[in-house]
């Protein structure tokens, strides 16, 4: 029986690299996969001059998923309106899929998480989701909250704080490196905007 998996971690803990390794393992054994990532995170699409969310929901962006260690793979991009169940089952009918891998899973809408569950339960296709658990204020992302509630398997990938403890939180910083405590939940950025910290140093950075 197929399962829904949620691999979660702080920033820079190797989520994308782990996804790409899993994808490689499937492909090496001749199994067909389908990769997805969020349309709003377009940091990997600069090679083709950017992207359009609706176009990318229908086409594969060749560098949509990239890891910090230089690995990359093409992927479809989902928006809040993408029907993942319909898209995946259509592709599965055209040629059997052995696994679905989703990067930036925290940006899934709650209904899309349920669509992933239906893919496992009804279509018997394993779905592996990789993403953040909480935002820069320590609040759950809506998609992550549903994944934590209904996924068959929860796996924490370990990041490292500057103190050597496990990094489980993400702090947003400004141009001077100071922690930011207010703002929109979603703001795309890399090491220049986010730092992974343990809970103690996250609390200290936000003055809690």
Residues marked as catalytic: 104
Which residue bears the tokens 């935002």?
135
- The torsion region of residue 48 among left (phi > 0), alpha (psi -120 to 50) and beta comes to alpha
Strand, coil or helix: what is 118? helix
- Could you tell me which of 189, 180, 165, 173 has the C-alpha nearest to residue 104? 189
Burial annotation 51-85 (CB, 10 A radius, 16+ → b, else e): bebeebbeeebeebbbbeeeeebebbbbeeebebb
C-alpha–C-alpha distance, residues 108 and 38, integer Å:
8
How far from the centroid of its chain's Cα atoms is residue 154's Cα? 14
- Orientation angle between helical segments 84-94 and 110-121, nearest 10 degrees: 30
Read off φ and ψ for residue 31, nearest 5 degrees: -95, 140
């Amino acid at each position: 029986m197929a399962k829904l998996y949620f691999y979660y971690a702080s920033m820079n803990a190797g989520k994308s690299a782990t996804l790409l390794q899993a994808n490689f393992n499937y492909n090496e054994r001749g199994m067909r996969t389908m990769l997805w990532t969020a349309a709003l995170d377009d940091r990997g699409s600069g090679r083709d001059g950017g992207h359009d969310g609706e176009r990318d929901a229908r086409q594969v962006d060749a560098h949509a998923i990239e890891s910090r260690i230089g690995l990359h793979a093409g992927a479809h991009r989902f928006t809040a309106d993408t029907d993942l169940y319909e898209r995946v089952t259509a592709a599965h009918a055209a040629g059997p899929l052995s696994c679905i891998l989703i990067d930036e899973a925290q940006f899934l809408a709650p209904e899309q998480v349920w669509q992933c569950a239906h893919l496992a339960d009804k279509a018997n296709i394993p779905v592996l989701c990789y993403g953040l658990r909480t935002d820069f204020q320590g609040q759950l992302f809506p998609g992550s909250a549903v994944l934590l509630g209904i996924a068959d398997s929860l796996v924490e990938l370990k990041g490292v704080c500057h103190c050597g403890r496990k990094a489980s939180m993400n702090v947003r910083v400004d141009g001077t490196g100071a922690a930011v405590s207010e703002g929109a939940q979603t703001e795309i950025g890399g090491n220049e905007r986010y730092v992974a910290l343990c809970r103690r140093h996250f609390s200290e950075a936000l003055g809690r």
